[in-house]
Structure 1
Amino acid sequence: SWESQMVDNNQLTTISELTPHTIYTIRVQAFTSVGPGPLSAPVLVKTQQGVPSQPSNLITTDVGETSVSLQWSKPSHSGENIVSYELYWNDTYAKEKHHRRIPISESYTLSGLYPNTLYYIWLAARSQRGEGATTPPIPVRTKQYVPGAPPQNVSGVAEGPTSIRVSWEPPPAERSNGRIVYYKLHVVEASRSDSEAAEVKLNGTSFVVDELKRWTEYRIWVLAGTSVGDGPPSYPITVRTHEDVPGDPQDVKVQSINSTAIHVQWKPPVEKERNGIIRGYHIHVQETKEEGKSLLNEPMRFDVLDGAAL
């Protein structure tokens, strides 16, 4: 259909908002107060090729932990042939703008992204005359992933002969890769393998491990998890429970030396009942009747350190 443009008494005008790379037919007509005269002979003109218009319908078709699949429609006015697309994105984690030139297509998978991170993505087409208009940015958040770092500052302190309190801090926020929903605490005697460790699943960042063996070294480590799964374990720490009173000495033997002295000999408590470092012994002596049933006096106590009675 024809479109017209009114021009003052002039011999020059500019017609704008035409479609690039398109042939137009131009005819001019003069008019007076009475009315218009005849049309001039037609003149054909072709507009120049310009930069492409913006692509349309930019959407995500799949979102993963570290990648986003995109799809779009080519520009409605491309001018010259499109030679590439210019893809731009920035992220709310690194606070950086990125750019990648991609081949002619109407889909692309952007990879190498951070998990659980909000990105803004936009696109422009490029022809030989330059880059065209960009699409409006679209927001995309990548999926959560397992934590990329272990809990920090894991520490343990014995609270008694059978318990250890373990404390830690969450992984660094920038490496959590999602919301931390649990921790797993592992405890095993230092002399045993990791595969024998007991596991406790927790929500908090401290826990008292009880029902442990007295005066025993334990190896302890912690890991964090998101809804996707477990992250890496922390470096193990070693903590020893406190000492406790020992079990009874073994194989006690007594031999009379003379009328006023006896020789007493014994072995330490069995190893699993020593419950610490044996620092000495108390020897209790009390006189009894011949039958061995009645006690005749108050007991006497001798302390033995380094093999000598005090």
Structure 2
Amino acid sequence: MPGGSVNLTCMAVGYPMPSVKWVVGVEDLTTEDDMPLGHNVLELTNIHQSTNYTCVAMSTLGIIEATAQVSVKALPKPPTSLIVMETTATSVTLTWDSGNPEPVPYYIIQYRAKASDTNFQEVDGVATTRYSIGSLSPYSEYEFRVMAVSNIGRGPPSDPVETRTGEQAPSSPPLHVQAHMLSASIMLVQWEPPEESNGQIRGYRIYYTSDPDAPLSTWQKHNTDDSRLTTISSLTTDITYSLRVLGFTSVGDGPPSDVLQVKTQHGGELLGMVNNTSVLAGSAG
């Protein structure tokens, strides 16, 4: 490991007994005055670089050599060039470069949603430099980073990359839908955005009908922008209307809210609101 120590022992046998020295490159590590006979131990400390060391044995009969290689095994370097190649509403595809001269056995991908303070989730054992992570939340910001892993351990993480997943249609209806009559023929409808908008709400659609048993596709429709209230006019007096509200993104419509019933009465202002089995009665004109 970097900063570690090792002893290299060289033994040589002959007659006459040879002198033994250690050499690195062209530099003698053993002085001529201190060359032992037949046995030489080289003590290396605080090693940070892989190096070849040569043992030289010499006598009046000649010279022989043997080389020892000291390899410094470091943690792998962080991967580089991490980029987002593709995004869908629930997945992100990442690519990166190894960042290491030696082959990397595998990688670990870490990711987390930026909107939360949760720890990184991990995908372990990734053997390629391209990978798709699924089961993500739509229209959410995520942070990703990658680490190389060797037999020494996991290296430091790459620079992070951030991206937002794509949009989907809302998966829940608008909340707290309310309606009341401003006059005998004008209805005010109010609501709150869906809990699971899955994107940017581009607008809302109010369906209303006097025949609640008819298919929703046959109900009258009233579109509005991304505000949270609207008015519907030219209603028939003295009739009960059923209404439902849905939100939509650029991808599609979300589910409609539960049926809300509002009753008008000739000459009335706020005439009544029926939601399931409960009735809220207002003042009559």
Is TM-score (shorter-chain normalized) higher than 0.5? yes
Question: 2:108·2:126 contact (CA, 8 Å) conserved in 1?
Answer: no
- 1:51 is matched with 75
In structure 1, how many angstroms separate the alpha carbons of the residues matched to 2:179 and 2:152?
67
Distance 2:199 2:126 in 1: 33
Q: Which amino acid aligns with 1:74?
A: S
* 2:48 and 2:72 in contact (8 A); partners too: no
Closer, same or farther: CA 75–191 of 1 in aligned 2, 3 Å: closer
Residue aligning to 2:189? 166
Unaligned runs of 5+ in 1: 30-39, 246-310
Q: Which residue number in structure 1 is paired with residue 206 of structure 2?
A: 185
Match of 1:201 in 2: 223
Count of aligned positions: 227
Read off the aligned partner of 2:86 and give its amino acid letter: D
Q: Structure 1 CA distance, aligned partners of 2:192 and 2:25? A: 72
Q: Contact conserved, 2:190 with 2:229, CA < 8 A, in 1? A: yes
1:95 pairs with 2:117: yes
**Alignment correspondent of 1:300:** none
1:67 paired residue among 91, 107, 115: 91
Aligned partners of 2:99, 2:46: CA distance in 1, in Å?
23
Q: Which residue of 1 aligns with 2:49?
A: 18
Quote the Cα distance in structure 1 between the aligned partners of 2:122 and 2:81.
20
The residue type paired with residue 196 of structure 1 is T
- Which of 128, 132, 135 pairs up with 2:155? 132
Q: 1:216 touches 1:241 (CA, 8 Å); kept in 2?
A: yes
TM-score by length of 1: 0.64
| 1:104 partner letter | A
Highest relative contact order (Cα 8 Å, sep 6+), 1 or 2?
A: 2
Question: Could you say which residue in structure 2 is the equivalent of 1:217?
Answer: 240
What is the SS of the residue equivalent to 2:201?
Answer: coil
Contact 1:158 1:242 in 2 (8 A): no
Contact 2:86 2:93 in 1 (8 A): yes
Partner residue in 2 for 1:287: none
Structure 2 partner of 1:228: 251
Verify the 8 A CA contact 2:246 2:253 in the aligned structure 1.
Answer: yes
Q: State the distance in 2 between where 1:146 and 1:5 align.
A: 72
- What's 1:255 paired with? none
Query: What root-mean-square deviation, in Å, do the aligned CA atoms of Structure 1 and Structure 2 show?
Result: 3.2
Task: Give TM-score scaled by structure 2 length.
Answer: 0.69
Cα distance change, pair 6–121 in 1 and its aligned pair in 2 (3 A) = farther
Question: Structure 1 residue 12: deviation in Å?
Answer: 4.7
- SS of equivalent to 1:195: helix
Structure 1 residue 18: Cα displacement? 2.1
Gaps of 5+ in 2: 1-23, 35-41, 57-63, 269-285
Partner of 1:155: 178
Q: Percent identity?
A: 23
